[in-house]
Amino acid sequence: MEKRPPTLGEFLIDNQNSFPYATGELSRLLNSIRLAAKMVNHEVNKAGLVDITGAVDSVNIQGEQQQKLDVYANEVFTKTLVNREIICGLASEEEDSYVTVPGFDKSHRNKYVVLIDPLDGSSNIDVNAPVGTIFSIYRRVSPVGTPVTEEDFLQPGNLQVSAGYILYGTSTIMVFTTGNGVHGFTLNPALGTYILSHPNMKIPPNGNIYSVNEGKYAHFPQGVKKYIKYCQQEEGDRPYTSRYIGALVADVHRNILKGGIFLYPQSSQAENGKLRLLYECNPMAFLIEQAGGRASDGHRRIMEIKPTELHQRVPFIAGSEEMVDKAEEFMKEA
């Protein structure tokens, strides 16, 4: 009889020994993210039916109007991760600073810190378009048994132990890596379990989808403008198809499956672009590189950038290797 695909829980048990520093903590950590994602998914799926869509009268540290689901998702992930006493600290895009997990005797003995964008693309909520959660996990650098420090969060992306996203789309999928490839688990809502649906995801080395907010074209640097015009020229497999969902998780997930490039460049309006290095670019870069693609800021590999502040923004050019190579050629010119 053909063996059914494993659930996420079974996968974590079966692969426990391949996780870095296999002590069971990482498995428990990924399991707590799985639970929080189910809770957020439940609310996202009924957003149109209950009073949970729309904005609250608060603005987050990014200066962005918070949506009700933003606040809810942040609370769910923060409480689930802190209450399980698995981590020593947490940083969220929605929080001004990092959160030290209370309970000196226990939490400070934990080895991992988590950085999270609880609900990426939240402006899509009210129009029933896809949204996502992005997470990034590091091993602390400060001594175990002491309170977590900012340095624990300001680590370059190449030190990530794990990273992943949950895409709340036409179905809900959790995609993550622990440095041994990228695997996708689709939620079976009837059973409440995530089933391995996309084992060992690989991004095609080339593709014909480019993803950029062309409404900002006038503000892009010359090299970016030239690359966009290159994408639109009739030659070979071009013009490419333009696809832009307005939620990083959805655009990146599509590009990993089909091949493509995503660009959020710097501009005259935003000299470092919009996307956050720690909560969005590093985890996505880890996943894309593990899937065989590339992620740069147009000049440097994203995962080699040494962060200087928690909410730092960087330009983000990522996806199929040959497409990122070509885009960087144009960006070198001007």
Binding site for ligand P6P (CB under 6 A): 120-121, 123, 213, 246-248, 274-275
Q: How far is the CB of 246 from ligand P6P (least distance, A)?
A: 5
User: For residue 95, with 0-12 CB atoms within 10 Å meaning exposed, 13-18 middle and 19 or more buried, which class applies?
Assistant: middle
Q: Which is nearer to ligand P6P, 90 or 249 (CB)?
A: 249
Q: Which is nearer to ligand P6P, 94 or 152 (CB)?
A: 94
Q: How far is the CB of 242 from ligand P6P (least distance, A)?
A: 13
Pairwise CA distance, residues 258 & 274, whole Å? 25
Q: How far is the CB of 136 from ligand P6P (least distance, A)?
A: 15
Q: Which is nearer to ligand P6P, 76 or 248 (CB)?
A: 248
> Is the peptide bond prior to 283 cis by the omega test (within 30 degrees of 0)?
no
Q: Which is nearer to ligand P6P, 121 or 223 (CB)?
A: 121
Q: Which is nearer to ligand P6P, 183 or 274 (CB)?
A: 274
Q: How far is the CB of 41 from ligand P6P (least distance, A)?
A: 17
Helices (H) then strands (E): counts for the chain: 8, 15
> Is the peptide bond prior to 204 cis by the omega test (within 30 degrees of 0)?
no
Q: Are the CB atoms for 84 and 32 separated by under 8 Å?
A: yes
The token pair that represents 124 in the structure block: 């899509």
Question: What separation in angstroms does the CA of 27 have from each of 15, 18, 30?
Answer: 9, 11, 5
Q: Are the CB atoms for 31 and 12 separated by under 8 Å?
A: yes
The token pair that represents 186 in the structure block: 């689709």
Q: How far is the CB of 16 from ligand P6P (least distance, A)?
A: 32
Q: Which is nearer to ligand P6P, 193 or 244 (CB)?
A: 244
| CA nearest to 209, candidates 334, 320, 102 | 320
Q: How far is the CB of 244 from ligand P6P (least distance, A)?
A: 7
